[in-house]
Amino acid sequence: MELDLSLINILILFGAVQGMTFMIALFASSKHPGAKFLALAVLALVYNGLETFNWSSNLEQYTRLFDYFPFVLIFLVGPSFYLYQYSLLRAGTAPSRKRILISYSPFIFQFTYLAFCWIGYLLTKSELLNFQPWLRSAGQFYAWYSEPVSVLVFLFFFSLSVWDFRKNHRAALLDKRCLQPRKIAVDWAKQLLVFQFLMSLIWPATVIISYFDFWPFSWSEYYPVELLLVLFLYWIAIAGYFRMRSITVEPIRKKEKPSQNEPNSPEMDLILRAMEIDELYRNPELNLSLLSEKTGLPSKTLSKILNQSRGVNFNDFVNSYRVEAFCREAEKAENSKLTLQGIAFDCGFNSSATFQRTFKKFKGDTPKSYFQARKKVE
Q: What is the pLDDT of residues 283-317, one digit of tens each?
A: 999 998 898 888 888 888 888 888 888 788 889 89
- Residues spanned by CATH 1.10.10.60 within the chain? 266-377
- Residue 53 has a pLDDT of 80
Cα torsion at 56, 62, 67, 72 (round to 10°)?
-60
Model confidence over 191-230: pLDDT tens digits? 999 999 999 999 898 888 887 777 676 667 777 888 888 8
Question: At 256, is the pLDDT very low, low, confident or very high (cuts 50, 70, 90)?
Answer: very low
**CA-to-CA dists, residue 254 to 50, 179, 191, 277, 301, angstroms:** 43, 18, 34, 31, 21
For residue range 77-135, list pLDDT tens digits in order: 999 999 999 988 876 577 889 999 999 999 999 999 999 888 888 888 887 877 787 88
Q: Which CATH architecture has domain 266-377?
A: Orthogonal Bundle (1.10)
7-246: which CATH topology?
Answer: Rhopdopsin 7-helix transmembrane proteins (1.20.1070)
pLDDT at position 179 is 43
213: left (phi over 0), alpha (psi -120 to 50) or beta: left
Q: How confident is the model at residue 50 (pLDDT cuts 50, 70, 90)?
A: confident
Higher pLDDT residue, 364 or 100? 100
Among residues 106, 96, 103, the alpha carbon closest in space to that of 72 is found at 106
Average pLDDT over residues 2-8: 73
Residue with the bigger pLDDT between 99 and 369: it is 99
pLDDT (average), residues 266-282: 88
Give the residue range(s) of CATH 1.20.1070 domains in the chain: 7-246
Choose among 89, 330, 286, 282: nearest CA to 188: 89
* CA 323 – CA 347 distance, rounded (Å): 8
**How far apart are alpha carbons 206 and 185 in whole angstroms?**
31
Q: Check if the beta carbon of residue 63 is closer than 8 Å to that of residue 54.
A: yes
Band of pLDDT at residue 44, cut at 50, 70 and 90: very high
What local confidence, expressed as pLDDT, does residue 377 receive?
A: 46
The residue with greater pLDDT, 321 or 4, is 321
Kindly report, residue by residue over 134-186, the tens digit of the pLDDT. 888 888 888 889 989 999 999 999 999 999 998 877 766 655 554 455 678 88
Residue 173's pLDDT is 63
Give residue-wise pLDDT tens across range 317-339.
999 999 999 888 888 888 878 88
Would you say residue 251 has pLDDT above 70? no
Q: Which of 246, 260, 145, 118 is nearest to 187 (CA)?
A: 246
Dist CA 91 CA 13 (whole Å): 34
Task: Tell me the pLDDT of the chain averaged across its residues.
Answer: 83
